[in-house]
Structure formats: structure tokens, C-alpha cells
A = this chain, B = another copy of it.
């Protein structure tokens, strides 16, 4: 069914165009007209793919989240415990240009979500998935004796998740071109605390 593949590919082209505009000019710049222009579509030709800007933005955010999760699956495959947890966090942290751009996209999405229950729910579900992932690795690390901290894993998981989210803000609001925020060293330091 080549038609369907084509439809999906075009949706991804539009998502990419949206990202580029948001990362460059912020959410306000991403009008349907600008997105069409950036993606090389005729004005009005977006409707069959995304009837509204809102459906496009929700799809775009879910796609960032899915893409991050695919990268996570690649780097955590065959690993467990603290080793897997470290790989997971290093993939979420904004350690390079691509992921700093993702941070610049996720903040406008959060801003929308503050007053849009549907988007807030997408965010919360994504974060619950990540909390579960972190807890799973922590449980493995407890079994192997790598984590001995006398603090409940559910508290540790949410601590760590909030740290990862805060890092997105730091990276997205940094002067252009800056890519080193010491986040990898911070993570290493945090994992050292858990080993106590």
C-alpha cells in the first residue's frame, strides 16, 4: 500500500519542518502557513495530513518521545541495573546539538500543556513510562547489590526524572552553540550517591 507509506512519510516531513521552526523561532513562529512553506507544501495542502495545528503539535511531540525511546532501546539492549540506567539517562539528557534542539521543542510543548489537558496527559503518560523504566533498573541494581541507598526507589526514580527534566530547561535556555553543561558528570555523581 504505497499510498499509506507516502502519507506517513509526508506527516514526518511536516513534523521535521515544525521542529525546525519551533527550535529557531519558538512556538509562535510555527503557523500552518510557515510550516507549509518550510516543508515545501502549498499553503492549505497540510489539511489532509493534519487538520489543525494542534493535531500536528501533538503528533510532533509524540514523535520526539518515540524517537527518544527508540534511541533508548538501542543503547540499553542487553544491559541491566545501573549500567542500563546510566545509558537511559545519557540518552535523555541534552548532551548534543540534536537533543538540545529536542529540548527547545519540548519546552513550548510543556507551555501549551499548562492550559491544555490533552497535551498534559500525553506528557504525564510519557513520564510515567519513564518512571517505570527507571524503577525497573533500580530494582535490578538493588538485587545485584549495586544500589544500597536507604531511600525508597519510587522517590529515587522521581528525583532522577525531575533532574533529567530540569536539564532540558538549562540546555534550551543556554546561549546558542553551548553544548556542555556537565550533565554527564552530574549523572555520574548521582549514581555514585546511589551506590552508598
Contact A27 B111 (CB under 8 A): yes
Chain B proximity of A106: nearest CB distance (Å): 9
Contact B155 A182 (CB under 8 A): yes
Q: Does A117 contact B (CB under 8 A)?
A: yes
Q: How far is the CA of A141 from the CA of B194 in the complex (A)?
A: 19
Number of chain A interface residues as a range: 35 or more
Q: Which residue in B110, B186, B196 is a CB contact (below 8 Å) of A193?
A: B196
Contact B111 A152 (CB under 8 A): no
Given A169-B165, A190-B159, A192-B150, answer yes or no on A114-B120 (Cβ-Cβ < 8 Å): no
Q: How many copies does the complex hold?
A: 2
Q: Does A124 contact B (CB under 8 A)?
A: yes
Contact B149 A193 (CB under 8 A): yes
Q: Which residue in B29, B104, B115 is a CB contact (below 8 Å) of A25?
A: B115
Chain B proximity of A134: nearest CB distance (Å): 13
Q: Does A158 contact B (CB under 8 A)?
A: yes
Chain B proximity of A121: nearest CB distance (Å): 9
Chain B proximity of A145: nearest CB distance (Å): 16
Chain B proximity of A116: nearest CB distance (Å): 8
Chain B proximity of A147: nearest CB distance (Å): 11
Contact A111 B113 (CB under 8 A): no
Binding site for B on A (CB under 8 A): 24-27, 29, 104, 107-108, 110-117, 120, 123-124, 127, 149-152, 155-156, 158-159, 161-167, 169-170, 172-175, 181-182, 185-186, 189-190, 192-194, 196
